[in-house]
Structure 1
Amino acid sequence: MKRPVSTPLVFAGVVLALAGVATAGGALQTVDATLRGAASTAPADATQQHPWEQPLRTTAIATPRAAFEPMQAPGRTRPNLLLDAERLQAARQALEAMPGLAGERLVVFHSIHFHDDGRIDIDLVDPQQPGHVDGYHYQRGQWRKGDAVNPQQFAPTISLRRSSTALANIDFDAVPRVTQALQQQRNALMRTPAQVGHVYVVIRKGGKLVWLPDEVAGDRQTVRLRYDARGNLQ
């Protein structure tokens, strides 16, 4: 026959059970509070996506701008010397004023060459040694003395005696007249006429001046030109 459980023992068991429930409830509250705290400190999107599902974030890198450089104005092209009578006369006066030539009677040997880019080439007889000839070159507004010239290398057709004349006999204003006449003929006879870039005068027997070029080869015909000593088309 079983003995009934005593009342004190039953009461003690109930107390122990209630204590266990209370302890468990506190633990659950602690866990819940911990989870709530972690959720509040985590990023908002972390609660929605796994780390491997989050979009890749990139940092923009600023590209340094190049320093601003003002645009350079294109340089001015100097006027065509062949058409600039003022510059031609200034070049002549500068030649006559050069050391060793100033105040002397200047004699030109054989030829003078004029170029559209501002160059002039001339051979002069040495005022102090009439048997010597030297080249002179004009460029960028300045004259310089060049190399010695051997007149005998052109013999017998060209000689110092028969192919020389005073600089005073040569009119530099003839250069624009020859250039314009030559260009007009090129424009008339050529479909695509080239610009005149070189004009020269040659001294022939007796000091006769011959201006060149004196020929225009057109598309359908070739024309010979003749100028007088002052560059006028005849």
Structure 2
Amino acid sequence: MKYQIILFTSIILGLSGCHQSAATTDTPTPPIQAASLPAEPVSQRNLLEDREALALAKSRLQALPSFAEKPVQVFGNVDFFDGIQPRIELSVQNPNQPNEIWFMRYQHGKWSEPIVEDVSDDTPTSQISRHLTPLSEIHFVDVPVIAQHWRQKAKEVNAVWQEPYYVSFIWLPKLKKRFWHSAQIEAVGAQYYLSVNLDGNIWEWKKL
């Protein structure tokens, strides 16, 4: 089945009606408690619901020799995928050259070699710092909470596809807003949008 992932521009459109109420989230948020949502049996191993695998991915990123125990600074968003190719994709700041951004992918239990990204067209080098979030403040182990929200909502609307396959950590510098976003939910004759605050509470749930 063809997966549909909302593009970043769609996220901005989805937020257009709520800019006035967006909360500032500069204060680091602790991980969501696992008991926030009732457990639901899963018939297969899904990366988005595997807390141990997600925690391992984060620890292996920080432990890479490239960072030599320096703090990892994430540039922009972090995308988590299940499906045919379970993986995590993100961009980070080169710890030795602050004006350079690396793209990295975690798949099959290891991180890829960094690929230098050209971000100058969209983000002047002088503005890179505005798009950074310390890795320590992005709790990979919270992804299952968002996936569970998605699973429950997909079931409620009798969605065509009810297995979580995409979650993203989003940072919008203009709104000073960090939150979790998920794949669009497709039902017969309807589409739904779901985003979740860092504390695990649903921020937006609406029909498009």
What range describes the TM-score normalised by the shorter chain of this pair?
A: 0.5 to 0.7
Q: Taking structure 1 as reference, are residues 92 and 135 closer, same or farther at Cα in structure 2, changes over 3 Å only? A: same
Q: TM-score of the superposition, structure 2-length normalised?
A: 0.66
Point out where structure 1 has 5 or more consecutive residues left out of the alignment.
Answer: 1-76
User: Which residue, 177, 187, 192 being the options, matches 1:208?
Assistant: 177
Higher relative contact order (CA 8 A, sep 6+): 2
1:142 maps to a residue whose letter is K
Q: TM-score of the superposition, structure 1-length normalised?
A: 0.59
Asked if 1:82 corresponds to 2:51, the answer is no
2:105 and 2:161 map into 1 onto residues whose CA distance is 29
Asked if 1:91 corresponds to 2:57, the answer is yes
User: Which residue, 106, 123, 131 being the options, matches 2:91?
Assistant: 123
Deviations 1:158-217 (A, max 9, x none): x52322111111111221011110111111112533422111112111753221127534
Contact 2:91 2:101 in 1 (8 A): yes
2:66 and 2:165 map into 1 onto residues whose CA distance is 31
1:154 corresponding residue in structure 2: 122
2:39 corresponding residue in structure 1: none
1:93 maps to a residue whose letter is S
2:76 maps to a residue whose letter is H
What number of residue pairs does the alignment pair up? Answer: 156
User: How far apart are 1:136 and its partner, in Å?
Assistant: 1.3
1:104 maps to a residue whose letter is K
Contact 1:174 1:230 in 2 (8 A): no
User: How far apart are 1:152 and its partner, in Å?
Assistant: 2.1
1:149 maps to a residue whose letter is E
Deviations 1:84-136 (A, max 9, x none): 00110011111111112131111100111111143111101011111111011
1:102 and 1:204 map into 2 onto residues whose CA distance is 29
Point out where structure 2 has 5 or more consecutive residues left out of the alignment.
Answer: 1-42, 204-208
2:12 corresponding residue in structure 1: none
User: How far apart are 1:223 and its partner, in Å?
Assistant: 4.0
